Amino acid sequence: MLLTDKTAIVYGAGGSIGGAVARTFAREGARVHLVGRTAAALDAVAEDIAAAGGPAGTAVLDALDEAAVEAHAASVAADGGIDVSFNLVTRGDVQGMSLLDMPVDDFMAPVVTGIRANFVTARAAARHMAERGSGVILTLNSGSAHGSPMMGGTGPADAAIDTLVRNLAVELGPRGLRAVGLWAAGVPETLTKEKLAAVDSGMDLDENAVQGLLAQLAGMRMTRRNPTLPEIAATAAFLASDHAGGITGTFVNVTGGMFPG
């Protein structure tokens, strides 16, 4: 197994991607700590992990809350250390509107939330990892820093996180730590009509329209197929493992070639 005897904290573990990553980490041998704002969602993932025979703890907290994140990281570190910290927290992105028509607060929300949450969680874990001389900081965004129209603050938020990962890698590398990200966009399992409407209020789609959107997204990729949630989770597990020890300061393109890496 890739992550035997590793301890991982997954922020946003109650979400579609976060839950899939947490389950995969546990299946690969990791002790997983699930963090999020909704107890029921975290408990559902923890129950799945427990049913498969893996250990999982849960903590309800806001990743923007510096003191709460620091205290939780300290408790995990005191109980055996932190090997992996993965931030998958939602940012409140607003899309489907021209930048000329977008309110400032809607544009800024994903930028401020995304960079704060990633910095707070990365710093909290890295301080403990640095004492041991090893560890991996992971994050994920859509890769929209390459230029995506009608995406509001998503592109600038992704660009800020891309830069944070690279700077973390430079500073933390000499202390034995790695910082890596994944680009993933349009994952079918995450694109329910409810979730689409939450990001773009003008996107009131029925099931047929959702399937049409997925087909359109597949046609935009080099592979002509949409990457699946298990594929993304498996890539994350590899990057968190010692097998990826030479990979840092970069983002792995798991978009199926929606844009060049």
Residue 204 belongs to some domain of the structure: no
The pTM assigned to this predicted structure is 0.93
Residue 208 belongs to some domain of the structure: no
Residue 76 belongs to some domain of the structure: yes
261 residues of the chain, pLDDT tens digit each: 999 999 999 999 999 999 999 999 999 999 999 999 999 999 999 999 999 999 999 999 999 999 999 999 999 999 999 999 999 999 999 999 999 999 999 999 999 999 999 999 999 999 999 999 999 999 999 999 988 888 899 999 999 999 999 999 999 999 999 999 999 988 888 776 666 666 666 667 688 887 888 898 889 999 999 999 999 999 999 999 999 999 999 999 999 998 886
CB 205 within 8 A of CB 213: yes
Quick one: pLDDT at residue 194? 67
Residue 23 belongs to some domain of the structure: yes
Quick one: pLDDT at residue 240? 98
Range of the domain at 19: 7-187+227-253
Nearest alpha-carbon partner for 165 in 190, 192, 137, 142: 137
Nearest alpha-carbon partner for 66 in 26, 117, 27: 117
- The residue with tokens 């820093």 is 145
Quick one: pLDDT at residue 232? 97
Number of domains observed in the structure of the chain: 1
CB 89 within 8 A of CB 42: no
Which CATH number fits the domain that encloses residue 113?
A: 3.40.50.720
The contacts of residue 234 (CB under 8 Å, 6+ apart) are 24
Residue 193 belongs to some domain of the structure: no
Structure tokens at 251: 């983002």
Residue 203 belongs to some domain of the structure: no
